């Protein structure tokens, strides 16, 4: 006789507080290999990994047709840092606030159809692909943007003392990658971008993401109003959380980054419990949303390539991911801007180049935004 199964824990409807505790029963067995394979990094990875097992034929070609890719290598040419061949990978992950189409209605701000890199992260996957470090780049960092050529072949002159996210709004993905490589001296092996609408839909398709807030968060500009306590966030609420800068901490972009980092870890933990492989429709819906939401470099611009990439991340859970903010200090001339703390930042770049851990000294005494611990 088959063993009696234990009921799945109740999940709150998105937008509500946490449900009652699950009923008594036998202890559930450890997650299967299939579920472990759902682990990945950063916003977009949650969508990428669900592509595994999506099938062939119509489904394959439909999903393949969803993917938009850009040829970063062709645009940037050979004037780039040398690729580090030690088994590690560096991926630039951007969250873009494109102000066109349905994105006009999301997140406030201007609606002129322009685009900015609202979130930027360098994801370093270590040799063996069992752990990762994530370095968030504050969008308000004043940098020297190098001359760059976008993927349409248009050249853009260098600029000094401009905000980091201006690189993306000037020349798109290629100029964003060029700027990151100029700051770090590290070649980006891959590029992943997700937009507002895609992010929101992906969270809704997942059934929401569970987080706990230790303080009330209220920010009318990002349409967010959360009481302290446990929540299952809808896509709209999740988007508001990762974009708010006025509802927590010192109101800076640094505080928003701390919320983003906490949310990403919660998202990764949520994905591994979804169990989409037992639900073909849910799998397809997630894969369809994810492939429409992401823009990749051309090397990842197919379902097969994304599946292979995701397979290499399957051993990375939130407990094996170190998340830091690029070392910066407040700009004495403008408290709404930050400057790169070059000596400390170099400790971070050296660690990633050598596939080693980021030392604690790299971030000690740097600007933080004072929002740590607000979300878990």
325 is written with which tokens? 């903010």
Give the per-residue pLDDT at 52. Answer: 36
Residue 204: pLDDT above 50? yes
- Higher per-residue confidence, 83 vs 13: 83
269-287: pLDDT as tens digits: 777 666 555 567 777 788 8
Percentage, residues of the chain above pLDDT 90? 38
Are the beta carbons of 297 and 90 closer than 8 angstroms?
Answer: no
pTM score, two decimals? 0.79
Average pLDDT, the chain: 78
Distances (CA, A) of 9 to 24, 155, 165, 212: 10, 55, 41, 17
All structural domains of the chain with their residue ranges: 33-362
Residue corresponding to tokens 């088994």? 87
The reported pLDDT for the residue numbered 5 is: 44
The CATH homologous superfamily to which domain 33-362 belongs is LCP protein (3.40.630.190)
Contacts of residue 370, defined as CB under 8 A and 6 or more positions apart, other chains included, come to 249, 250, 254, 255
User: Across residues 30-34, what is the average pLDDT?
Assistant: 44
Residue 235 CB burial class (10 angstroms; 0-12, 13-18, ≥19): buried
| Res. 4 pLDDT band, cuts 50 70 90 | very low
Mean of pLDDT values over 157-180: 95
Q: Which of 21-35, 95-109, 290-304, 327-341 has the largest mean confidence?
A: 327-341
Token code pair at residue 48:
């990428």
**What percent of the chain shows pLDDT beyond 70?**
73
Torsion of CA 34, 39, 45, 47, to 10 degrees: 40
**pLDDT confidence tier of residue 246, bands split at 50, 70 and 90:** low
Mean pLDDT of all residues in 96-120: 52
Say yes or no to pLDDT of 110 above 50: no
């Amino acid at each position: 006789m088959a063993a009696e199964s234990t009921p799945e824990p109740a999940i709150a409807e998105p937008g509500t507080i946490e449900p009652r505790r699950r009923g008594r029963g036998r202890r559930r067995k450890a997650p299967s290999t299939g579920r472990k394979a759902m682990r990945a990094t950063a916003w977009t990875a949650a969508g990428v990994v669900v592509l595994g097992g999506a099938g062939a034929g119509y489904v394959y070609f439909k999903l393949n047709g969803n993917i938009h890719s850009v040829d970063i290598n062709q645009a940037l040419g050979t004037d780039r840092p040398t690729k580090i061949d030690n088994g590690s990978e560096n991926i630039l992950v951007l969250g873009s606030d494109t102000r066109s189409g349905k994105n006009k209605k999301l997140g406030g701000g201007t609606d002129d159809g322009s685009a900015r890199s609202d979130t930027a992260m360098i994801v370093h996957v270590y040799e063996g692909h069992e752990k990762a470090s994530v370095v968030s780049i504050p969008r308000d960092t004043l940098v020297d943007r190098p001359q760059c050529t976008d993927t349409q072949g248009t050249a853009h002159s260098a600029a000094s003392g401009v905000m980091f996210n201006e690189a993306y709004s000037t020349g798109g993905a290629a100029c964003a990658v060029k700027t990151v490589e100029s700051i770090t001296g590290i070649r980006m092996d891959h590029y992943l971008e997700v937009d507002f609408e895609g992010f929101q839909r992906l969270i809704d398709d997942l059934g929401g993401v569970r987080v706990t807030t230790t303080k009330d968060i209220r920010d009318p500009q990002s349409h967010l109003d959360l009481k302290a306590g446990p929540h299952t966030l809808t896509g709209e609420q999740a988007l508001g959380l990762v974009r708010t800068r006025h509802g927590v901490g010192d109101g800076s972009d640094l505080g928003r980054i701390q919320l983003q980092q906490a949310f990403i870890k919660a998202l990764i933990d949520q994905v591994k419990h979804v169990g989409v492989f037992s639900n073909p429709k849910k799998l397809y819906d997630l894969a369809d949303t994810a492939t429409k939401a992401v823009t990749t470099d051309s090397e990842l611009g197919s379902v097969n390539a994304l599946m292979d990439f995701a397979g290499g991340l399957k051993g990375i859970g939130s407990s094996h991911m170190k998340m830091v903010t690029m070392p910066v200090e407040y700009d004495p001339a403008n408290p709404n801007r930050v400057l790169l703390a070059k000596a400390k930042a170099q400790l971070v770049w050296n660690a990633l180049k050598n596939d080693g851990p980021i030392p604690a000294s790299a971030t000690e005494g740097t600007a933080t935004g004072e929002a740590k611990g607000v979300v878990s």
